[in-house]
Chains A and B, each alone.
Chain A
Amino acid sequence: MASFRKAQSVGLTYQISLSGRELLPRLARQYQVHRETRPAETWTYYDSFDWRLYQRQLTLRSRPEGRIFRWQLRNLQGELVKRFKTHDSPRFAWDFPRGSVRLQLQKVLWVRSLLPRVEISSNSEMLRVLDKRRKTVCRLRWTRSRARLPEGAVSQVLPPRLRVEAVRGYSTIRKRLVDFLESELALERAPGLPLEEALEAVGVKPADYSGKIRISLDPELRSDRATREVLLSLLQTIQANREGVIQDLDSEFLHDFRVAVRRTRAALGQIKQVFPKRSVKRFRREFSWLGKLTGPVRDLDVYLLQIPEYQASLPAHVRADLAPLAEYLNAQRDAARGRLLRGLGSHRYQQLIRGWEAFLKGPVPRKTTLANAARPIGTVASERIARVYEKVVDKGSQIDPQSAPGKLHRLRLSCKRLRYLIEFFRSLYPAREMDTLIRELKKLQDNLGDYNDYVVQQETLRGIAARATAGRQLPAPTLMCIGRLVERLEAGQALERERFMGRFSRFSSRKNARIFEKLFRIDQRGGGSN
């Protein structure tokens, strides 16, 4: 961030209902003011679907000018961080011109695409406050703006704003002017930041999406009700991402969609005895179908995203040989996407989502024979987490350096279940300790996940090579590159395997075990079934 322009001063913005005729004479009584009109400007503001820029207090806006696009990266207060131009409209961070902006954007946006969020057109006047030498000592920017959704038909008038823009080296005068505006003219500070006001006017709530589970549960709540809340939040994630998957805006839509589906399946399987058996069976079957439907495209996405890394792991002179593999994968992805889109547009999908929503929003039965349905979620959650934790420790301790890969795979799945359960019920427990557990578990999961990726990628690449050889779809140099990659992956796999013992013993340490016991065992003594 060092090479970026630092924000020099925090500008103050005021609400202003006065007309020019009212404001200027009152200002003129105290100050010498020079008034000039600025050309009208229309800017489109961009952010990712999950508001990555907004959450880092940044705004990115652009406007076309002739054949180029002017861009400005600003902080939320409106101060310029960096400006630059492009020849077309970039979709991803890596499409921006090389340099510090691209690095910064790549760090923030990662693989997420930029979406136009709102368009703001403004007319402004600059009132320059002068000193005795007629030198500018402060600026007041008076802006009238309208906002509309990108490609929206109707624009909304935003309340006029007066912004104090400091001139460097004249802070005393600025402070006096601010006092004057607030006491003499009784101006009030604008309640929101300009972008937030514009978004609100067009009915968009920033940071309204997160792939994380953001619900807060009461430990006394009936378990079937609480489980429905968890599942409802997952359903919202599924629905929120569907459009992005269909339009193929970026790979994360499908990823979040899939994670939500997998979590749904885990919840149905792991939170036992809260829903009628028949419903559980039906929805597990249907969500399993949905999981399988989305699998192939996601797998190909992962390989495609991996290509630059694959290339980097090869000697420079053969890197270009990998290009046909990318083409091959892209072609496969197109075919897989066709199947995915048919699935998402199918009657079966609609039935599933509608039925699921109706089930989750329906009333909970007053009487139930299900063992856990009416028990408080605090107790049931602790029992389940404790149980799965024991399984993880149990499975993990049976693994020695000679164990078959399958054992690690099964441990990985148990860890995933544990992770999901902890995330579902995070709000029931002290946040700090939960975060510690998630962090510790994540380290183990990363190890197991990487190990598994190495195994699976080798198999997949070997499979691709075999099929492509049979169909003569890839040139020989590419096949040789694949051979080299498989070797690298084998080495990576061996390394992760070596690391496992250390990772696991750390996770199953006495210290972590004590936290698990403290958080999840106490309530269990109250009894209940599993």
Chain B
Amino acid sequence: MTVLATYNIKGGVGKTAAAVNLAYLCSQQGAPTLLWDIDPQASATYYFRVKPRIKGGGKKLVRGKSKMASRVRGTDFEGLDLLPSDFSYRNLDLYLDAAKKPRKQLSRVLAPLAGDYEFIFLDCPPSISLVSESVFAAADVLLVPIIPTTLSVRTLKQLKRHLIENGPKRVRVLPFFCMVDRRKKLHRSICEAGSELPYSALETIIPGSTVVEQMGIRRKPVPVFAPRSLAAQAFRDLWAEILERLA
């Protein structure tokens, strides 16, 4: 089982779009896949037309009183399941803080699902908090979408510092550029100077695209409703590149 988390300290950078599309592409290759929507905004859950509610909420989950497996919902796609979000996840930090060894809680929650899935994607809320630290401990890979702006690059540096100072475990960080607008000079120059990033970025660039925005209306992954779009191709390339890096 490989756990991949889409994460960024900043919000609105395309974490959910990446998680949903990559998880879909992963399952299409025949790998049993789970997407856990940890973000209380429940966008991923919405995309898959699932009710954003978990019996017992985040509290019971963290305390180990809910059975994870029974909270999982199948999606429209064979081999792709979803662990829905719940509004109570906004308090996940508090629940974790109250628990013993808070940083290990997410790994513990995922452990019983290890036999069921080859890949687990975590769609994380923005910010650096106990939740994200718990994610760093549970994940094998952090997929960090970055919009090529100065502030985004800065947050990546913050992340690196944080991981060095607090990271008990070596999690792989794979940043990639997304929502890229080729017409903007700044976007172009930051993408080209990728070597200045604290981590070596993936080569695939996800363009800013109305197709990605339409996910909210279609409530489907991009490759399903616009398989020939540039964005769909970009996500396919991105997934192939991630697999290559993991191999």
Residues in A whose Cβ lies below 8 Å from that of B115? 2-6
**Complex interface residues of chain A between 329 and 356 (CB less than 8 A to chain B):** none
Tell me if B72 and A169 are in contact (CB < 8 A).
yes
Binding stretch for chain B, among A11-19, A104-112, A128-136, A462-470: A128-136
What total of chain A residues lie within 8 Å of the partner, measured CB to CB?
21
Q: How far is the CB of A249 from chain B (nearest CB, A)?
A: 30
Which of A3, A5, A133, A170 contacts B32 (CB under 8 A)? A5
Q: Does A163 contact B (CB under 8 A)?
A: no
Residue A167 at the chain B interface, CB threshold 8 Å: yes
Contact of B81 among A4, A6, A135, A168 (CB under 8 A): A168
Q: Does A139 contact B (CB under 8 A)?
A: yes
Task: Specify which chain B residues have a CB less than 8 angstroms from the CB of A3 in the assembled complex.
Answer: 114-115
- A133 & B49 in contact (Cβ 8 Å cutoff): yes
B76 x A170 contact (CB < 8 A): no
Contact of A136 among B72, B75, B114, B116 (CB under 8 A): B75
Q: Check: B160 CB closer than 8 A to any chain A CB.
A: no
Chain A: minimal CB distance from B26 (Å) = 13
Closest to B70 in A: A169
Question: Given the known A-B contacts A80-B32, A83-B30, A135-B48, are A6 and B116 also in contact in the complex, defined by CB atoms under 8 Å?
Answer: yes
Task: Report yes or no: B73 in contact with A134, Cβ–Cβ below 8 A.
Answer: no
| Interchain nearest-CB distance for A137 vs B (Å) | 8
Nearest CB in chain B: distance from A414 CB, A = 50
Instruction: Identify which of residues 56-86 in chain B touch chain A, using a CB-to-CB cut-off of 8 Å.
Output: 70-78, 81
Q: Is B50 an interface residue (CB 8 A)?
A: yes
- The reply to whether the CB of A8 lies closer than 8 angstroms to some CB of chain B is yes
Residue of B nearest to A135 (CB): B49
**Contact partners of B32 in chain A: CB under 8 A:** 5, 80
Cross-chain contact B76 with A5 (CB below 8 angstroms)? no
Distance, CA A165 to CA B79, complexed state (A):
11
In the complex, what's the smallest C-beta–C-beta distance from A174 to chain B, in angstroms?
10
CA distance A134 to B70 in the complex (A): 22
Which residues of B lie under 8 Å from residue A6 when comparing CB positions? 115-116
Asked whether A5 lies within 8 Å of B116 as measured between CB atoms, the reply is yes
| A134 and B49 within 8 A (CB) | yes
On chain B, the residues within 8 Å of A139 by CB distance are 78
- Produce 1/0 per residue, A409-430, CB < 8 A to B: 0000000000000000000000
Query: C-beta contact mask, A1-32 vs B, less than 8 Å → 1, else 0?
Result: 01111101000000000000000000000000
Chain B 71-110, CB-CB to A under 8 Å as 1, else 0, gives 1111111100100000000000000000000000000000
Contact (Cβ within 8 A) A136 B73: no
Q: Which residues of B contact A70 (CB under 8 A)?
A: 30
Which residues of A sit under 8 angstroms from B48, Cβ to Cβ?
A: 135
With a cutoff of 8 Å between Cβ atoms, the chain A residues found around residue B116 in the complex are 5-6, 8
Chain A CB within 10 Å, residue with most, of B48, B70, B115: B115
Task: Give 12 CB contacts A-B under 8 Å.
Answer: A5-B32, A5-B115, A5-B116, A83-B30, A128-B76, A135-B49, A135-B75, A167-B73, A169-B70, A169-B72, A169-B73, A170-B74
